[in-house]
Structures are given as structure tokens and as C-alpha cells.
């Protein structure tokens, strides 16, 4: 294949991706001169930030350069015509990662001495935010759509909801990078854990800090002028604190050099599940959407928390643990069969579901029940 043909194919793929992204980010992109430029593609207007042209390459020597917007403008001569297809939330959501890279390019221009550090951060983002279903981040968007009034469902607000959802995913990524080091894990989402990647090692500790710091940079950049900014900022800080307390309890309960079986109680396990997983995975996305639509009462948030923490605890019960050695897996399955744990689990699931439905009936007086029911449908009776 000729280099020209290869470039054409690469450009076509990138063109489709970016035209979708840019159509959905008309006003989320700041303009230094207060004017937005436009380019007409296939009859649809694609908006872009004038100062972004030519600023996509973070570092041509150590990072893959992004394609400038100029090259994405379609013409009759180019023969490239991006499909006019509405992108799903998931596609646009992941496209925001490129928006973050553009932000980094702007930051790098302000201080060229940090070029290598920005390149490193870009690599960290690409490796740790790809893969997975992004359910936590997308829950912010879905919940906002359920809670918002018709007048609130603007493109701007949906974009902001996606940005906050991306912040939820950044928190998740930060926690997982650190957790994998502490647990001495080797694989994450079908590829080596970040710290296991060649040349990373314990530098991953600082990378975890960078991922978490990106949350507050994005919130400041896109939400600072919004009335909900302070509430959402404090929400992320509080949830991070609770999650880190849960991680501390988990580490103290299962110290490799100090096994104390008296600490392995059902109450301790439920507390770990609640703090380590449920707050950031379930309460954080819904609570952020609530603040966006100005649901700020302590009663409403306490009700949502009661329901969502119950879901979070059940979610933690479903996860799989242990090594993947077939012989060892077979031994564990044999013990499960002997103890009839499948029936025990099914009974627990039924009780948990009934308890959750009761919580939804009792607590969702100021919130639409559909938000919680949709989450419950994803969790209960699912086959893995």
C-alpha cells in the first residue's frame, strides 16, 4: 500500500471521528478571541476553535501527533466524506479524551519546559482511560437526561455532563493504577497493569496523582462559572476521601504478612464494599447529575445515597477474585458445589433485590424511580 493511500485511510477514519466530536462540542471549546470558526461538511456545520489549528501535536518525537482540524475539512477535491450519522453517547464520550489532549497542548504552549511531562501525561491517559464500558461516566449523562427539565437539555449542558462523567472515569483510573500496585496485580482489562508496562514501574504512583489532578483541572476549566461548580467539586473531594478510607480498611484487613481471620467479618466486608466501591461507582455519578439540575437538599441526597450504596454493595458481591490457573479454579468450583454456594448466592441476590426495591419505594420521593430501576436491571440476574 502506498504511503498516500495509507494516509488517506487514516485521514478518513480520523475525519469521521473528529467530525462527530466537534459537532457535539460547539460551545465547550473556549475561544481566545470570542469568535468560533466553522467549516461546512456534507451540508452540516462543524464548529472548531480557530486557535486549535496546528496545535494538536503535543510532541512529534515521543507522541503520536493528532490531525489538525484543517485537514478534516471536507472538499469535493479530497473525495473524503464523513458519514452523517448521529454518534452514540459512548462514542462522543470517548472523543472527549481528544479534547483533553487539546487542553494539554494549550497548557504545553504556556510552558514549553514541561513538554516531556505533558507527553507522559498524554500516554498515561491513553493507556488507562481506554477499554472498559465507561458505565460510571455515562451514568452521569443518563441521569442528567432523566432529571433535567426540557429547557435544561441543551447541547452545552449534555457536554458538561459528559465532561463530569469523564472526571468520574479519571477518578476510577487513578484509583485502579494505585490499587494494582498495592495488590501486586499483573493484568487489567486484558493488558498489563500500567506499572507493569515496560519503563513505568513505581513511577506509576505519580501517574496516579496526575490522573486525579486532571479531574480538578477539567472541573475548573469547564464548570467554574456554573452554579453547581462548588457542590460538584466538594462531591469529588468527599467521595475520593471515602474511597481512600475504604482502601485503607481493605489493606489493613488483608495484610500479607499479618493474617488475622478475626477481622474477616461480614460487617467488615460490607464496610469495605461501601466505601471502596459504592461511593464512587454508584453515588458519585448520580449525585453529580443531581447537583447539575439544582437538586441540593440534604434529604434528597441522603435518599439517593441509601439506594445507591445498597446497589454498590451488591455489585461488589458479583465480582470475581483469585488467580486464573485452571486447576486452582476447578478446586474452588468444587468447594463451591460442595457448599451449594450457588443457591446461597441466589438467595442473597433475591433478598438484596427485595431490599433495594423497598429502599427505592421509600426514598425516591423527590427523584424519578427510573434512574434507580435502570441501574438495578443492569446488575441483578445478569449473566457474566
pLDDT digits (tens, 9 = 90+) for 176-225: 999 999 999 999 988 999 999 999 999 999 999 999 999 999 999 999 99
Could you tell me where the DSSP H helices lie in the chain?
A: 3-23, 89-110, 115-128, 135-147, 155-183, 204-223, 229-253, 266-273, 284-292, 298-318, 326-339, 341-363, 369-379
Report percent pLDDT > 70 for the chain.
71
Residue located via cell numbers 441543551:
154
Mean pLDDT of all residues in 362-376: 78
Q: In this predicted structure, what is the pLDDT of residue 311?
A: 87
Residue 123 has pLDDT above 70, yes or no: yes
**Other CB atoms closer than 10 Å to residue 45's CB: what's the count?**
11
Let me know: does 23 contact 217? Beta carbons within 8 Å: no
Greater pLDDT, 127 or 70: 127
Q: In this predicted structure, what is the pLDDT of residue 319?
A: 75
Let me know: does 176 contact 145? Beta carbons within 8 Å: no
CA–CA gap between residue 153 and residue 141 (Å, rounded) = 11
CA–CA gap between residue 15 and residue 11 (Å, rounded) = 6
User: Mean pLDDT lowest for which of 3-7, 64-68, 96-100, 137-141?
Assistant: 64-68
Let me know: does 289 contact 147? Beta carbons within 8 Å: yes
Average pLDDT along the chain: 75
Q: In this predicted structure, what is the pLDDT of residue 298?
A: 94
Cell numbers describing residue 285: 455519578
Residue 46 has pLDDT above 60, yes or no: no
CA–CA gap between residue 51 and residue 83 (Å, rounded) = 26
Residue located via cell numbers 485452571:
326
pLDDT band at 231 (very low <50, low <70, confident <90, very high): very high
Close Cβ partners of 169 (under 8 Å, ≥ 6 residues apart): 129, 134, 136, 137
Query: Among candidates 8, 7, 93, 110, which has minimal Cα distance to 55?
Result: 110
Q: In this predicted structure, what is the pLDDT of residue 176?
A: 96
Amino acid at each position: 500500500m502506498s504511503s498516500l493511500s495509507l494516509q488517506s485511510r487514516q485521514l478518513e477514519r480520523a475525519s469521521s471521528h473528529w467530525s462527530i466530536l466537534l459537532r457535539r462540542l460547539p460551545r465547550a471549546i473556549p475561544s481566545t478571541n470570542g469568535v468560533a470558526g466553522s467549516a461546512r461538511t456534507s451540508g452540516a456545520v462543524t464548529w472548531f476553535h480557530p486557535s486549535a489549528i496546528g496545535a494538536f501535536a503535543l510532541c512529534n518525537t515521543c507522541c503520536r501527533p493528532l490531525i489538525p482540524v484543517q485537514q478534516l475539512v471536507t472538499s469535493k477535491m479530497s473525495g473524503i466524506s464523513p458519514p452523517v450519522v448521529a454518534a452514540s453517547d459512548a462514542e462522543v464520550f470517548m472523543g472527549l479524551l481528544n479534547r483533553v489532549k487539546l487542553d494539554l497542548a494549550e497548557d504545553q504552549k504556556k510552558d514549553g519546559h514541561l513538554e516531556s511531562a505533558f507527553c507522559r501525561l498524554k500516554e498515561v491517559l491513553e493507556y488507562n482511560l481506554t477499554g472498559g464500558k465507561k458505565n460510571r461516566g455515562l451514568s452521569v449523562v443518563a441521569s442528567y437526561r432523566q432529571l433535567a427539565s426540557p429547557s435544561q437539555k441543551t447541547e452545552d449542558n449534555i457536554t458538561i455532563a459528559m465532561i463530569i462523567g469523564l472526571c468520574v472515569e479519571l477518578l476510577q483510573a487513578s484509583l485502579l493504577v494505585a490499587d494494582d500496585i498495592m495488590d501486586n496485580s499483573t493484568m487489567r482489562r486484558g493488558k498489563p497493569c500500567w506499572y507493569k508496562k515496560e519503563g513505568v514501574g513505581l513511577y506509576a504512583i505519580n501517574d496516579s496523582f496526575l490522573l486525579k489532578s486532571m479531574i480538578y483541572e477539567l472541573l475548573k476549566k469547564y464548570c467554574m462559572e456554573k452554579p453547581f461548580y462548588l457542590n460538584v467539586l466538594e462531591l469529588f473531594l468527599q467521595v475520593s476521601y471515602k474511597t481512600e478510607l475504604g482502601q485503607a480498611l481493605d489493606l489493613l484487613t488483608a495484610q500479607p504478612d499479618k493474617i488475622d481471620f478475626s477481622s474477616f467479618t461480614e460487617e467488615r466486608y460490607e464496610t469495605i464494599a461501601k466505601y471502596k466501591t459504592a461511593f464512587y461507582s454508584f453515588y458519585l455519578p448520580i449525585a453529580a447529575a443531581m447537583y447539575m439540575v439544582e437538586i441540593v437538599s440534604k434529604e434528597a441526597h441522603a435518599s439517593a445515597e441509601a439506594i445507591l450504596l445498597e446497589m454498590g454493595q451488591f455489585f461488589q458481591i458479583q465480582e470475581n477474585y483469585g488467580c486464573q490457573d485452571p486447576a486452582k479454579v476447578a478446586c474452588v468450583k468444587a468447594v463451591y458445589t460442595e457448599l451449594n454456594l450457588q443457591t446461597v448466592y441466589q438467595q442473597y441476590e433475591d433478598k438484596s433485590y427485595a431490599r433495594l426495591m423497598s429502599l427505592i419505594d421509600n426514598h425516591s420521593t423527590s427523584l424519578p424511580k427510573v434512574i434507580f430501576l435502570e441501574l438495578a436491571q443492569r446488575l441483578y440476574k445478569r449473566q457474566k
